[in-house]
Structure 1
Amino acid sequence: MPRVPQTLDAEAVRSWCAGALAALGREREEIDAINVYPVADGDTGTNLYLTVESAARAADEAFAKRSPQAPDVAEIIRAMAHGALIGARGNSGTILSQLLRGMSAVLAEGGDGDHLARALASAAEAARRAVAHPVEGTLLTVADAAAAACAAGGELVTVARNAHDGARTALDATPGQLDVLRRAGVVDAGGRGLVAVLGALVEALTGETPAPSAEPPHAPVVLGDCPPEGGSGGPAYEVIYLLEADDTAVETLKARLDALGDSLVVVGGDGLWNVHVHVDDAGAAVEAGVEAGRPYRIRVTHFEARPEPAGRAVVAVLPGDGLAGLCAEAGATTLVARPGETPTGTDLAEAIRRAHAREVVLLPNDTELRQIAAAAAEQARAEGIRVALIPTRAAVQGIAALAVHEPDRRFDEDVVAMTAAAGATRYAELAVAERQSFTSAGVCQAGDVLGLIEGDVAVIGQDLTATAVTVLDRMLSAGGELVTLVVADDTPAALATTLEQHVRTTYLAVDTTVYHAGDGAPPLLIGVE
C-alpha cells in the first residue's frame, strides 16, 4: 500500500506535474473536440497540454539543478508556476498558469491540507482577477467550486479529493450556466482540463486514479456551428505574448486591450506577464505591449484561417510583427522570431497544431531553423498531420512561397509551386557589425554596415543606403523581374524610397514591392525574383 503523505513535498509536486501532463495527453483530443467557448477553435486541450508541459519541464529542471539532492518544495512550486507562465497557451492555458501561480505563493509556506485549501482559494481568486470579463460556466467557475469544496481544510489527501470532487460536480453543471455549451451539448473544455489536473494531484498523493467526470453525452461538435457567446462572429486574431513591464504599465495595457477586443487575460507579476487577447487589429495589440514594456515570444493566430480541422494551412516563422501580421492576413499561422530568441521545436510544433489543419506547409525562413523545423515536422506527422517542410532560408523566400500558395490544388502540386517560388528568390540582408571580425569580404569593424547575399558577407560599408544600393546592384546584375524590400521600424524611412527610385531609373523592367517588418527585424531584407 503506497505511503499517503501528510504534506506536499518536492517529489509529490514533480509527480503531480508529470501526472497532469499524462492525463492531458490522454484527454487532449477529447477536450479539443468539445472546445466551443470562447472561440470554437478546437485547441483547448492542446493549449492546456503545452502549458502543463512547460510547467513539468521547469519542475524537472529544478531537480536537475539540485541533483543529487532534491529541491525544497518552495523552489519547485515556484519553478512549476514560472514554467506555466512562460509556456501558457490560449485562453484556458493562460488562466491555468495563473491558478498555478496563485497556488504557489501559499504552498511555498507549507504543504499540509490547510495550506492546500488556502492555495486553491488564492488561485481561484487570482485567476478571476486576471480575466477582464469573467463568465460563469467556464474554467473560473470550476476553480471556484474546487476551492469551495475544500474550504474547511483537513488532511492533505482529503482536501485534494474534495477539491477534485467539487470541480467535477461543477464541470457537469456548466452546460446549464453557459448557453453555447448547452446548445453544443458539451461541458466546458477548460473546466474539464482543470478536473484532469486536480485528478492528477489526487493520483500523485494516493496512487489511485479518480473516477472520470460524468459529463453528459454529446453529439460530435461542428466547430463552425458554435459561435462565441453573444454573437455569430468575433475578433479575427488571437494575440499572445510575454511582456516585461511594471504593474502600473500593465494596468494601462489592460484598459487598452479591453477596448480593442475580448477574451482578455493578463497573468503574472514581478515584472513578467503573459498577455492573451482576441482582436481584429493584431498590430494594435502588439503596439500596446510595446508601449507598456518589452513584448516577446509574440504569437498571432488568424482564426478564420482554421475554421475546421481540415484542409491546408501554412505556418511561417517571421522576423518582425509587421511581416507576421501581413502573412496572418494572407491566412498563415505565424511565429515571430526575435533577435537572440530562436524558436524551439516545441514552439514550431505548437504553431503547426494551432494551424488546425490536416495538411501543413512549414516555412522556417531561416537556415538555422532547418533542423529544428524538421524535428517539429516529424513530431506533427506522428500526430497524424501531413507536413511539408520547404527549406526557406529568408523571410523574402517565405513571402514568395506564400504568394503562390493555392489551398484548392493538390497538396503535392502546391508544395512544388511554393518550393519553386522560394528557390527562384535570391535574398540578401543588411546588418550592423557588433565587433571586429574576419568575413568573406574582408575585415569589418564594429559599427560597419554588412551586406550579406545568400548568407555570406559580400559588401562592407559605412553608410546604410550606399551599402544597400551596392548589394542591390550586385543581385540585379544576374537579372530579375521583382525586387522585394522589407524594412524594420528603426530603419530610416528614406531608405526604401531611395532604393525604389534607384530600381525605377536603373532597371526599367523591374518592379519593386516594399513591406514593413515592424520591430525586431534586420534593418533591410532584399529579395530578387
Structure 2
Amino acid sequence: MKRWLSNAEVSLGNHSDRLNAINIFPVADGDTGTNLYLTLRAASRAIADVDTADIGELLAIAGRAAMEDAKGNSGTLLSVFLTAMAEPLQGSTRLSAPLLATALHRAQLRSWSVLSDPVPGTMLSVLEEAARAAMDEEAAQSGDDSNVGLAATLRAVMNAALAAVVNTELQLDALTQARVVDAGGVGFLLVLDALRASALGEELQEELLDGLHGYDVQAPHIHSTMPRMEGVEVMCTIMLSPLDAATLRLQLDEVGDSVIMSAVNAVGEGYRWRVHVHTPDAGTAIDLLRTVGEPMNLTVTELSADGHETNEIISEIHEAHEV
C-alpha cells in the first residue's frame, strides 16, 4: 500500500502538466493533474511512517488525509475512492482478488453517491468499469486468494479501465468536440497502474497512455482554448449531523453545481464532512455553510484562474461576512 501510493504520487507528478492540458470538464480550468497529484501526495505522506500490517487501516489513514487536503473535483473523488476502498480491507494483511473486487465495488458505489449530479464519461465511468472487471474475474468469484489470481484480476482491471478512458471521449459532448479523453479518467488510470505495478512487483507501463487523444507531448493545451468559466470553487471541512448534511446538499445544489459531500469520519453524534461546490457567489455558499456549522480549512479558488487560489477573495469574503 505504501509503495502503491508513493508510485502513484510520482506518476501523477510526472503527468500533471499533460493532465492539466486536457482538463476541460466540468470546467476548463487546467488543474486536474495538479489537484490529483497534491491530493495523492497528502495520502502518501500520511502513511509514510505508519507502522501497521493492516492494509485497510493504512489505506483509511491515507484516505482521511487525502480528504482533509483534497483539491478540486478530481482530488475529492480520489480521496473518496481511497477511503471507501479501505473499508472492506480492514483487518487484512495482504491484497487478494476477492478483496480487490469488493473494495473497488465499494469505492464505485460511494463515489457515485457523493456527487449530487454524477456524470458518465469521467473518472466515475473508469472506476465503474474497473470494478465490474474485477467482479467478473474468475478469481474474485471463486474466492481464489492466490497471487496468480490477483495478477489476473489486476490485469483485467487495467484493460477495462483503459478501454473506459478511451470511451470517455464519446460520452461527453465537450470531450467529443475537443477530441480529447477525460483528464480525471486518465489520472485515475495512472493510479490503478501504480496499484498493479506495486502489488505484482512490476514496473509502471510507460506506453500505457500512447495514442490517447490529446495526450501527445506536442498536442496543445486544450483547456487554454476553451471559454473561461465565471465563478469560484468553494471547499471546506465542516462538522454536520446527517440531517444538516442532507439539508446543506440541497441548498448548495440551488446555488451552484459540481456539489460533492463526503463524510470523512464520525465525531460524536455527527461527522466531519468534506464539501465541494462550484458557484457564482462564494459569499452565498459560505453563508449557507455557516448556518449549519463552522467551515474549517476553507479555500476559494477562481474557476478562471487556472486553479490558483486567490487569498484576496477569501479575505474579502471574511470581511463582508464577519459575525
Work out whether 1:279 is the aligned partner of 2:268.
no
1:71/1:278 Cα in 2 relative to 1: closer, same or farther (>3 Å)?
same
Q: Secondary structure at the match of 1:243?
A: strand
The CA deviation at 1:238 is 0.7
Which residue of the partner structure matches residue 109 of structure 2? 125
Of 56, 60, 73, the residue aligned with 1:91 is 73
> What does 1:190-229 align with in structure 2 at a 5 Å threshold?
190-208=184-202, 209-210=204-205, 211-218=207-214, 219-227=219-227
Matched-pair contact (CA < 8 Å) for 1:131–1:265: yes
Q: Is the 8 A contact 1:149 1:162 kept in 2?
A: yes
Instruction: Find 2:23's aligned residue among 12, 30, 35.
Output: 35
TM-superposed CA distance for 1:243, in Å, is: 1.3
Share of identical aligned residues, percent?
Answer: 33
Quote the offset at 1:112 in angstroms.
Answer: 1.9
Map of 1:290 onto structure 2: 290
- Which structure 2 residues correspond to residues 4-15 of structure 1 after superposition, within 5 A? 13-15=1-3
Higher RCO (CA < 8 A, seq sep 6+): 2
Higher alpha-carbon deviation: 136-145 or 73-82? 73-82
Pair 139,185 (structure 1): closer, same or farther in 2 beyond 3 Å: same
Render the CA deviation track for 1:363-402: whole Å, top value 9, x for unaligned.
Answer: xxxxxxxxxxxxxxxxxxxxxxxxxxxxxxxxxxxxxxxx
Letter in structure 2 aligned against 1:217: H
Q: What's the secondary structure of 1:133's corresponding residue?
A: coil
Structure 2 portions without partners, runs of 5+:
none
SS of residue matched to 1:294: coil
Listed one character per residue, the Cα deviations across residues 7-27 of structure 1 (whole Å, up to 9, x for unaligned) are: xxxxxx101110110110111
1:162-241 correspondence runs (5 A): 162-208=156-202, 209-210=204-205, 211-218=207-214, 219-227=219-227, 235-241=230-236
Structure 1 regions of 5+ residues with no counterpart? 1-12, 64-69, 228-232, 326-487, 489-514, 520-529
Moved over 4 A (4+): none
- Secondary structure, in 3 states, of the residue corresponding to 2:16? helix
Q: Distance in 2 between matches of 1:118 and 1:93?
A: 22
C-alpha deviation, 1:303, in angstroms: 2.4
Aligned residues: 300
8 Å contact kept, 1:184–1:221: no
Q: How does 1:26-425 map to 2 (within 5 A)?
A: 26-63=14-51, 70-110=52-92, 111-152=95-136, 153=140, 154=144, 155-208=149-202, 209-210=204-205, 211-218=207-214, 219-227=219-227, 235-269=230-264, 270=266, 271-304=271-304, 306=305, 315-316=310-311, 321=314, 323-325=315-317
Cα shift readout 1:35-93 (whole Å, capped 9, x = no counterpart): 00001000000000011011001111423xxxxxx443232121111111111110011
Per-residue deviation, 1:216: 3.3
Label 1:62 to 1:291 Cα distance change in 2 as closer, same or farther (>3 A): farther
| Alpha-carbon contact 1:55-1:83 (below 8 Å) kept | yes
Deviation for aligned residue 1:108: 1.2
- Deviation of the 1:226 alpha carbon: 2.7
State the secondary structure of the residue aligned to 1:40: coil
The 3-state SS of whatever aligns with 1:62 is coil
Greater strand fraction, Structure 1 or Structure 2: 1
AA aligned opposite 1:23: S
Is the 2:300–2:310 contact (alpha carbons within 8 Å) kept by the matching residues of 1? no
CA gap of 1:101–1:140, structure 2 versus 1, over 3 A, is same
For the 8 Å contact 2:301–2:309, the answer to whether it is kept is no
Q: Which residue of 2 aligns with 1:518?
A: 322
Q: Which has the larger radius of gyration?
A: 1
**TM-score relative to the length of structure 2:** 0.86
Describe the shift of the 1:315–1:135 C-alpha distance in structure 2 as closer, same or farther (beyond 3 A).
closer
Q: Does the CA contact (< 8 Å) of 1:17 and 1:56 recur in 2?
A: yes
Q: Say whether residues 1:22 and 2:32 are aligned partners.
A: no
Assess if the C-alpha contact under 8 Å between 1:245 and 1:273 holds in 2: yes
For the structure 1 residues 314 and 102, does the alpha-carbon distance in structure 2 shift closer, same or farther, using more than 3 Å as the test? closer
Cα RMSD, aligned residues only? 2.2
Deviations 1:207-238 (A, max 9, x none): 322341344333414425435xxxxx755111
In 2, the alpha carbon distance for the partners of 1:251 and 1:49 equals: 30
Q: Residue 518 of structure 1: SS of its match in structure 2? A: coil
1:315 Cα offset (Å)? 4.9
Tell me the SS of whatever aligns to 2:24: coil
Partner amino acid, structure 2, of 1:147:
A
The SS at the match of 1:275 is strand
Structure 2 residue matching 1:150: 3-state secondary structure: helix
Contact map agreement 2:180 2:213 (CA 8 A) in 1: yes
d(CA) in 2 for partners of 1:126 and 1:315? 31
